[in-house]
Amino acid sequence: MKYILLWTNPQNSPFIYFGEGSAVFENKTCQWKNCYVTGNRNYLGDYSEFDVIVFNGPQLLPLVNLYDLPKKRFVTQKYVYANIESAAIYPICSDRWNNFFNWTWTYRLDSDSVWGYISVKNATGHVIGPKEVMNWINLSDMDDIDENLKLKLKSKKKLVAWFVSNCDTLSLREEYVKDVQQELQKYNLDVDIFGSCGKHQCPRDIMPRCLDVLKRDYYFYFAFENAISQDYVTEKILYALNSNTVPVVYGGANYSRFMPEGSYLNAREMTPLILARKMFAISRNIEMYYMYFRWKKYYSYHFRHETPDTDDYCNFCAMINNEYLMKTTTIYEHFNKWWTANDSCFLKNDKYLYDDKK
């Protein structure tokens, strides 16, 4: 049995989804089911007996304030930094954590074990991404979409939707959207905002129905992140990609690691004026719109937890069962520089990055 100690509060998200014991690995039918998770530091008599100790990134500061860090360290153990939240919201600004963590388990694609939201498969069902270097088929080499998909896309009548409940974000996405709305007024169009930040309602318990509306009615969907961080791409793009809708992204990722060129629009690469103009033009040119769906013949998008081979809990347990990795000594000498962008410790709100607002 491999033992995992959750040093930070196991009742806090996302650790709460571990539960206690090995059930999480058994229920997910992981290849390796011999991992045991607990938040009880005395479960084995002494925390030195655990194979790995995992620290939840958002809870690091309370640990320091309460002097609640391990008092002794054992060379055979792995200390793991885990975080699925943006580094911009939870930056590491102190050098206290340098030479502390052996492994990272985060949404970053260069983590030792990725804890993300999305998996990409090719036409044969093999997992191919996301990863730092993707070898996508060029758009010009892709076939046209079939007549059945064309028929579905022709039913769309509305320009763009946005499902959102957080109305005050570090990324200032809401400010960008306001500017887009002003530009769309020139065309007698608007952004249909669903949730507590808009006029339309879409409770989480009826999300499948909302996605049906997205698939039937909307040309575009705003997949806007609440913070700007490297590789921070959440499930938002899946709403669009799996609902026959073109995602308009807004975040800090290199999106070519997640989607092929020609399948999305990147709002941070254009002004609100240009984005509004481009969405309007594409929505009025159905042949141009069709091209944004050529990828569907070659790739598919999934939640990572859908299958054991992409599930992050399964992969973490497999990593602990890798004897070579466990015996190899690694340490993040400059963890703060790895995790935190240069300006994250100083800028709490930065205007979205473009120069003109014509």
Average pLDDT over residues 25-50: 96
Q: What does the block give as tokens for 276?
A: 């509004």
Cα separation, 50 vs 48, whole angstroms:
6
Residue 356 pLDDT: 33
Residue 349 pLDDT: 41
One domain, residues 330 and 292: no
One domain, residues 112 and 189: no
Question: How many domains in the chain?
Answer: 2
Give helix 272-283 / helix 173-184 axis angle, nearest 10°.
Answer: 50
Residue 349 lies in a domain: no
> Of the residues 265, 297, 329, which one is the last residue of a structural domain?
297
Lowest mean pLDDT among 61-75, 230-244, 262-276, 321-335: 61-75
Q: Given the DSSP bridges, would you call strands 118-122 and 127-129 parallel, antiparallel or unpaired?
A: antiparallel
Query: What's the pLDDT band for 358 if we cut at 50, 70, 90?
Result: very low
Domain of 269, CATH number, reads 3.40.50.11660
The answer, yes or no, to whether residue 215 has pLDDT greater than 70, is yes
The answer, yes or no, to whether residue 342 has pLDDT greater than 80, is no
Residue 228 pLDDT: 95
Q: Under 8 Å CB-to-CB from 101, ≥6 apart: which residues?
A: 55, 79, 80, 81, 331, 332, 335
Residue 179 lies in a domain: yes
Cβ–Cβ under 8 Å, residues 107 and 116: yes
Cα separation, 84 vs 13, whole angstroms:
9
SS3 83: strand
One domain, residues 204 and 76: no
One domain, residues 110 and 247: no
One domain, residues 157 and 276: yes
Residue 194 lies in a domain: yes
Residue 207 pLDDT: 84
The answer, yes or no, to whether residue 343 has pLDDT greater than 60, is yes
Residue 356 lies in a domain: no
Tens digits of per-residue pLDDT, 40-59?
999 999 999 999 999 999 99
Residue 122 lies in a domain: no
Cβ–Cβ under 8 Å, residues 83 and 106: yes
One domain, residues 11 and 159: no
Residue 98 lies in a domain: yes
Query: What's the pLDDT band for 347 if we cut at 50, 70, 90?
Result: low
One domain, residues 168 and 223: yes
One domain, residues 287 and 158: yes
pTM above 0.85, yes or no: yes
Residue 354 lies in a domain: no
One domain, residues 80 and 220: no
Average pLDDT over residues 326-345: 89
- Helix extents (H) in the chain: 23-27, 60-65, 147-153, 173-184, 207-217, 236-241, 272-283, 286-291, 312-320, 323-327, 335-339
Residue 88 lies in a domain: yes
One domain, residues 28 and 66: yes
Q: Which of 125, 117, 65, 59 is nearest to 92 (CA)?
A: 59
One domain, residues 34 and 67: yes
| Chain mean pLDDT for the chain | 93
Cα separation, 303 vs 238, whole angstroms:
8
Residue 352 pLDDT: 35
Residue 196 pLDDT: 85
Dihedral sign from CA coordinates of 234, 103, 82, 350: negative
One domain, residues 194 and 70: no
The answer, yes or no, to whether residue 240 has pLDDT greater than 90, is yes
The answer, yes or no, to whether residue 200 has pLDDT greater than 50, is yes
User: The domain containing residue 326 runs over which residues?
Assistant: 2-116+307-339
